[in-house]
Amino acid sequence: MKIAIASGKGGTGKTIVSTSLALTVGNATYVDMDVEEPNGAIFVKPEISKEIRFTVPIPEFYEDKCIFCRKCEQACVYNAISIIPQAKKILFFEELCHNCGVCKYVCPVEQAIIEKPKSIGTIRIGEKEQLKFIDGILDVGIASAVPLISGMKSYIPDDEVVIIDSPPGASCPVVEVVKDSDFVLMVTEPTPFGLNDLEIALGIVKEMDKPHAIIVNKHESNNSLARDFAKERGEKIVMEIPFDRKIAENYAKGIPLAGNEYSEMFLKLIKNIREGNI
Ligand code: SF4
Ligand code: SF4
């Protein structure tokens, strides 16, 4: 059972929810796929046993072999190649390349394009007692997080419970996480900004037909914005975490939600998700 913890907006409390949930379950795997800003390790405090440099294949063009037929340029849907036959020049815009391999596939000349590995980030593997830990750290300046997220999936063990901290937002990296998840917990804060971005992210989750539910962070008894939002759209709120100074102080020190109250709530939540009661 892969459970993704997502949120339309950054800073809603996704990481504290995912790490607290994982630490409470214990015998599980926690995967931090928020690769542009992974901070799950601050809460889990794992012992890292392995670091793997992750590479993607990137084309290298050889003008001395090229016949300037422009087939690669026409085939690249990301406009990463520009061929200038008159000047016998190949311009390659590496930042636009999505490593799909099509240019090499269509090139009629052997050795005009050779794929070379390019490092884009690091995958770390470790553990904290019974909890297995994996995170990904995207190198600075790498335009797309998707290849690293996709590459991390092969390191996820076949555990009964896998908790995945998704990137925030509602773009390709979130889709890459959600598409292989069995359930999505959407963390939001009860503010107009939070709910606006939640609505966008919910659109993705519904489009992919994924079972899902909402967790409201920073809940206050006199604020019914999130409850009204959920009621109007027929969505289910499965947990409300109070707007509490103590939680914020602990968060700043890297301390997850603790205590019997949260343990019981998280264990019940996991049980209900696994038994299909939500
Ligand atoms: S690998 Fe794909 S995206 Fe990159 S240059 Fe070739 S065709 Fe374009
Ligand atoms: S497909 Fe190959 S030969 Fe044709 S322009 Fe591109 S690199 Fe050159």
Q: Residue 261's pLDDT is what?
A: 84
- Reported as a single tens digit per residue, the pLDDT across 192-220 is 999 999 999 999 999 999 999 999 999 99
Mean pLDDT of the 45-60 span: 98
Domains of the chain with bracketed CATH:
2-55+122-274 (3.40.50.300), 63-111 (3.30.70.20)
CA-wise closest residue to 202 among 69, 6, 25, 2? 6
Q: What is the pTM of this model?
A: 0.91
Res. 11 pLDDT band, cuts 50 70 90: confident
**To which residue do tokens 């012992």 refer?**
47
The atom of ligand 1 lying closest to the CA of 115 is 1
Tell how far the Cα of 80 is from the centroid of ligand 1, in angstroms: 6
Closest-CA residue, ligand 2 atom 3, reads 66
Mean pLDDT of all residues belonging to the chain? 95
The number of residues in the chain equals 278
- Reported as a single tens digit per residue, the pLDDT across 63-104 is 999 999 999 999 999 999 999 999 999 999 999 999 999 999
- DSSP assigned state of 259: S
Q: Residue 76's pLDDT is what?
A: 98
CA-wise closest residue to 171 among 273, 80, 36? 36
Q: Residue 228's pLDDT is what?
A: 97
- Reported as a single tens digit per residue, the pLDDT across 166-185 is 999 999 999 999 999 999 99
Res. 10 pLDDT band, cuts 50 70 90: confident
- Reported as a single tens digit per residue, the pLDDT across 222-258 is 999 999 999 999 999 999 999 999 999 999 999 999 7
Closest-CA residue, ligand 2 atom 1, reads 107
> Of the bound ligands, which one is closest to the alpha carbon of residue 109?
2
Q: Which residues line ligand 1 (CB under 6 A)?
A: 59, 75-76, 78, 80-81, 97-103
